[in-house]
């Protein structure tokens, strides 16, 4: 009668070797899963985008072909002190906008302040817009651009593009 190593079953001589192989594969899968989980704990998260300052807004306007001149900080276009703290008035033209227009940028601290004061911008604009049909406005929270127009289509699109870029930090 042949002799077998201790623990080997006579009908399945490779059973022990296969079981050991499966155990090694299982252990390897467990180690890889732990490593992947541990690495994801140290993956840095991206900070939320923050809106740019006025210099960044001007840079974005220039990037889309709009010239900015006669900048006045605190110029809301009306006597509303809350808006004056957020407002900057400037002249702009470019692209298909051959006529210079006066625009007011209202840069709010965050979405909550934007929501609280957005209707105030329209009320303020009624005091400096002489032709309501020519009123132009572009909203991209936390910013509002508003002014007398008319604004040409390409000019208004470029204002919107620049404001969108500025709203996410350029």
This prediction's pTM:
0.69
Per-residue pLDDT of the chain (170 residues; tens, 9 = 90+): 556 555 555 555 555 555 556 656 555 555 545 555 555 455 555 555 677 788 888 899 999 999 999 999 999 999 999 999 999 999 999 999 999 999 999 999 989 999 999 999 999 988 888 888 888 999 999 999 999 888 999 999 999 999 999 988 76
Q: Are 54 and 88 in contact (CB under 8 A)?
A: yes
- How far is the C-alpha of 122 from the C-alpha of 39, rounded, in Å? 51
């Amino acid at each position: 009668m042949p002799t077998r190593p201790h623990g080997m079953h006579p009908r399945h001589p490779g059973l022990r070797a296969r079981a050991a192989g499966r155990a090694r594969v299982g252990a390897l899968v467990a180690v890889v899963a732990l490593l992947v989980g541990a690495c994801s704990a140290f993956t840095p998260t991206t900070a939320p985008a923050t809106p740019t300052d006025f210099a960044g807004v001007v840079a974005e306007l220039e990037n889309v072909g709009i010239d900015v001149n006669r900048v006045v900080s605190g110029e809301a276009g009306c006597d509303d002190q809350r808006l004056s703290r957020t407002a900057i008035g400037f002249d702009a033209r470019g692209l298909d906008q051959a006529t210079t227009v006066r625009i007011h940028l209202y840069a709010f601290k965050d979405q909550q302040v934007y929501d609280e004061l957005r209707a105030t911008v329209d009320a303020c604009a009624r005091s400096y817009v002489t032709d309501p049909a020519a009123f132009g406005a572009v909203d991209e929270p936390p910013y509002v651009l508003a002014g007398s127009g008319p604004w040409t289509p390409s000019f208004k699109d470029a204002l919107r593009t620049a404001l969108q870029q500025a709203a996410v930090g350029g």
